[in-house]
Amino acid sequence: MRALRALRRRVEPQPVVRIIREQPARVLDNQLLRDKNVLVTGAARNIGRSIALEMAGQGANVYFTDLQADAVAQLHGELEATGTRSRGFVSDVSRPADVESLCAALAADGVVVDVLVNNVGVMRGTGLRTLAMADLRAVFEANVFGPVQLTQNIVNALIAAGRPGSVLFVTSVHEWTTFGAVAYSASKAALGMIVKELAFELAPHQIRVNAIAPGGVKTTAQGELPSFPGSPLFGTSIHPSYIGRAAVYLTADYFSQFTTGTVLTVDAGLLSRPQHG
């Protein structure tokens, strides 16, 4: 009988888990970022797009960057259709000249960025033995050096204007756990310490610095969540809207006015899995 019960457990269909993505009207009506000037880098798709749309839904003015002009135009149209004040820039954060031009363009429009979201991230290279040094440099230029340069510009403008603000980095669970891509994981680990250093340095200016560390975030062309075996919670990837909502949480004073130096993990339990050597 015991063996029969065990067999039944193996063959009986598992219950379907419904992923809840409804948006409570009460939260949307609060306009948690109303009239805040938000700058999101790498915003044309996936996590960056969701952050831009979620912040727009909370009343923010959304400025954003991406590499492709057509993608910038598409997101600009989406944002304007919601009544959001928006401007997109074709800009490469890994290029110091692009960062300076972006900041000059914002200043020329009289825009002081209240909320900076450093979302841009690239993944290149492999393990050490076959790693090209050019890939290592490219990853750190895009994931670390460029975001720090942009943050420096935005923070200096905030302090000169005597305004509080918020800086958010999008890191990864791979700042803590291995991935097989040494450049990428090392760059994300560097961001984890940058968050702590900047949080301490900028606290006297009432500028908060936090980060989100996502797990696997992906949707299919139909908007469905593909299977992701590393996720103990649902066995699927994470919908990018949840990273957008986490970004709202960490940048809205209503929730997080006393939160700085924090890395919020949104990984569906990935890091909770036992690590076997």
Per-10-residue mean pLDDT of the chain, 277 residues long, equals 46 47 61 96 94 96 97 96 95 97 97 97 89 95 98 98 97 90 95 98 98 91 84 90 96 96 94 72
CATH of the domain at 44: 3.40.50.720
Residue 52, in any domain of the structure:
yes
**Alpha carbons 36 and 158: distance in angstroms, whole number:** 13
Residue 48, in any domain of the structure:
yes
**What integer pLDDT is reported at residue 125 of this predicted model?**
80
**What integer pLDDT is reported at residue 15 of this predicted model?**
41
Which residues span the domain enclosing 94? 28-272
Residue 2, in any domain of the structure:
no
Residue 68, in any domain of the structure:
yes
Helix 46-57 crosses helix 69-81 at what angle (to 10 degrees)? 20
Residue 5, in any domain of the structure:
no
Residue 233, in any domain of the structure:
yes
In this structure, what DSSP letter does residue 236 have? Answer: B
**What integer pLDDT is reported at residue 38 of this predicted model?**
98
Give me the number of domains the chain comprises: 1
pTM, to two decimals: 0.88
